[in-house]
Amino acid sequence: MVTYQDFLEYTNKAQFVENAIEEHTTSDLYVTAKIADSYDKQQNKTINEYVQVIFSSMGEPITDYIASNNKIASNFFHRLNTQRCNYLLGNGVAFSKNKEDTVNEDGIKVTIDRTKEQLGLKFDAALKKTGYKALIHGVCFGFWNNDRLYTFPVTEFVPVWDEETGVLRAGVRFWQIDNDKPMTAVLYEADGFTEYKKSKNSGYQVTKPKQAYKTIVQSTEVGGDVVVGEENYSALPIVPFWGSSLKQSTLVGMRQAIDSYDLIRSGFANDLHDCAQIYWIVQNYGGMTDKDLEQFRDKLRISHIVDVDGEGSVTPYTQDIPYQARKTFLDDIRKGLYEDFGGLDVHTVAAGATNDHIDAAYQPMDEEADDFEYQASEFVQQILALIGIEDIPVFKRNRISNEMEQVQMLMLEANYLDEETMLSKFPNITIDEVNNIMAKKDLEDYANIRAEMGAETETETGEDVNA
């Protein structure tokens, strides 16, 4: 690990960039993140690298090229992490302050979330992407660039921490299209960023000198847009998003269970293909050498035909493949994965279950989501601090429920709740839809009032005032 104190000792920043990338790509954090990415793509490392091995007469391991080697990779890692991420961030984020009442073009009062407006339309998608990478890598980094959030995963970013405070003080983002293409790197500091490039024949060279994060542009009638100055943020505009308070990848501890599941399921498929539980008793072939017996066995397995001379015989015997024991063990591993991760196995929720039963099934997931929500709130508030906004993020969890029961309960409480609170608690309405629905209802109410007033006037005077 390279620290900020190490960075300050370098006079040649290009050399620091090169050393930082080299050390980072050999670190446990980076290696675990790369393995996690493979599991996330259902390219589980252990099962994909597994080969059948037999031992020679000398006890040496030899790859068994004849045996089947089915490699069935499960999708538990992607499924469970997607579930946790979408559970909290699937509905985006809303804010409790900085709401402003205004009148739209139709003369209807609407409420606008000014904080959400400043963050932009793509903020929810970027937050979800960053949060997902934080879960599978242990940490991810969000770069706020003027009006948009960018995601820097561990596999593309070297964090440079302060030894004394543990605060992120600098960082290096690096990427390369292919191994034979140049490597591009950007060194981010609190007072600006510098771009470097490395080709096959040379080290890192500066391609863009240090510049500030924000450019101040002034428009004039004569010269058009003119750059009049530069400006930086109050701190490094890159914020860490931790996946949990453990600060480690969700693959840790989960990988062994996934590997066991994959190996057992693949082994079962191999046994069915090879009929490994079939064996032969060979009589009156005692004069054969070990080599002859191996050739005899291979002929049986490949051609299923054997010539029998004299009184010799070959008798096949079979055993039933232990299906039930393996299935029970696979079910136990699957159940353990969901329990250890704190996920919701929808197969455990019976059709027509009440909300009490559903809430009980969600309890482990809620406990893990509470920790994840704390990390997400910290991340969002640090982004807001860079922009200069004080607000509190609010998340609406994306969960299944007995919607009819929940709506009935809300209708019983209708006399005690305002319209906005009612709409925000309906299970089929997202946070972002509440304001639009209220605005449309106000517009309808306004039109109805005008219609009623017009009808009353027409009745009194016999004329249509709206004509």
Read out DSSP for 96-135?
Answer: SS-EEEEE-TTS-EEEEEHHHHHH-TTHHHHHHHHHHHHH
Full-prediction pTM beyond 0.85? no
3 DSSP 8-state letter: B
CA distances from 371 to 135, 154, 377 (A): 11, 21, 10
167 DSSP 8-state letter: -
The pLDDT tens digits along the chain (467 residues) read 899 999 999 999 999 999 999 999 999 999 999 999 999 999 999 888 876 655 555 667 666 555 556 788 999 999 999 999 999 999 899 898 887 777 767 666 677 888 999 999 899 999 999 999 999 999 999 999 988 999 999 999 999 999 999 999 999 999 999 888 899 999 999 999 999 999 888 889 999 999 999 887 777 666 666 666 788 999 999 999 999 999 999 999 999 999 999 988 887 766 666 655 556 666 766 667 778 777 777 776 666 666 666 666 767 666 666 678 888 889 999 999 999 999 988 877 765 566 667 778 888 999 999 999 999 999 999 999 999 999 999 998 887 655 565 676 677 777 777 777 777 777 767 766 777 777 777 777 767 777 777 666 655 555 554 44
166 DSSP 8-state letter: -
Q: From CA 98, how far away is CA 262, in angstroms rounded? A: 50
Q: From CA 118, how far away is CA 178, in angstroms rounded? A: 37
Residues 6+ apart with CB under 8 A from 198: 18, 182, 183, 184, 185, 204, 205
Count of alpha carbons within 13 angstroms of residue 268, beta-carbon side: 16
